[in-house]
């Protein structure tokens, strides 16, 4: 629909003023495309991560994946309030059976929030911005952030995790947001 494309372009221009990078909005195909691994660890990657952190904080948000700024790489940044950082090529290697339900939103789906069930504790194997291997064991809020951002790297949006009836409500809220209703 032309009006959705027009609205998405407007929101991307608006987001430009909130940080150094454009945040892609729901409907952009990059958000549904699994990202390719980071294979070059250099100053350009470190600058991208720094720009992503600036953009995320300005939006404001707590996590941002590279596809959300149009970069086809497995990289995300986060700031939980306790700590911040960047992870390349993250893979969840363990999830607790214990879950938590909490409201989630997304910088790519502005002003739309719904409860999502996530694992309470996870272990992630990744690389830092220099390519060194890291293992992160995170819980609660950080676990939610990591799972949400890793989903982005796999082309999955938080609305995909909702129960069918709630997902229908979320999709209507997204349509309304895109149409400016």
Q: Does the pLDDT at position 6 exceed 70? A: no
Question: Is 104 known to be catalytic?
Answer: no
CA–CA distance, 110 with 88 (Å, rounded to integer):
25
Is residue 125 scored above 90 in pLDDT?
A: yes
pLDDT above 60: residue 39: yes
Average pLDDT over residues 101-117: 94
Q: Which of 104, 142, 149, 165 is catalytic?
A: 149
How many residues are listed for the chain in this entry? 181
How many Å apart are CA 3 and CA 1, to the nearest integer? 6
DSSP 124-170: EEEE-TTS-EEEEEEEHHHHHHHHHHHHHHTT--GGGGS-HHHHHHH
Judge whether 123 and 135 are in contact, CB under 8 Å: yes
pLDDT of 176 > 80? The answer is yes
Q: Is 20 exposed, middle or buried (0-12, 13-18, 19+ CB in 10 A)?
A: middle
Measured CA to CA, the distance from residue 24 to residue 165 in angstroms comes to: 26
pLDDT digits (tens, 9 = 90+) for 78-93: 999 999 999 999 999 9
Provide the pLDDT for residue 16. Answer: 41
As a whole number, the mean pLDDT across the chain is 90
Q: Is the pLDDT of residue 147 over 70?
A: yes
The band of 106, judged by pLDDT with boundaries at 50, 70 and 90, is: very high
* Residue 19: per-residue pLDDT: 61
The span from the CA of 56 to the CA of 150, in Å, is 16
| pLDDT value, residue 3 | 33
Give me the pLDDT at residue 162, please. Answer: 94
- 43-72 confidence digits (pLDDT tens): 999 999 999 999 999 999 999 999 999 999
pLDDT above 70: percentage of residues in the chain: 89
């Amino acid at each position: 629909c032309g009006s959705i494309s027009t609205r998405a372009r407007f929101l991307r221009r608006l987001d430009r003023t909130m940080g150094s990078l454009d945040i892609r909005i729901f409907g952009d195909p990059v958000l549904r495309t699994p990202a390719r691994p980071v294979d070059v660890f250099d100053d350009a990657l470190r600058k991208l991560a720094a720009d992503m952190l600036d953009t995320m904080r300005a939006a404001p948000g707590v996590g941002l994946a590279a596809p959300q700024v149009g970069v086809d790489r497995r990289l995300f940044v986060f700031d939980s309030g306790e700590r911040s950082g960047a992870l390349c090529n993250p893979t969840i290697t363990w999830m607790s059976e214990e879950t938590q339900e909490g409201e989630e939103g997304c910088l790519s789906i502005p002003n739309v929030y719904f409860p999502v069930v996530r694992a309470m504790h996870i272990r992630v194997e990744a690389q830092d911005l220099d390519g060194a291997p890291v293992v992160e064991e995170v819980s609660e809020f950080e676990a939610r952030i990591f799972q949400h951002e890793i989903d982005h790297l796999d082309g999955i949006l938080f609305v995909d995790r909702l129960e069918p009836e709630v997902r229908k409500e979320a999709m209507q809220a997204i349509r309304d947001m895109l149409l400016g209703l």
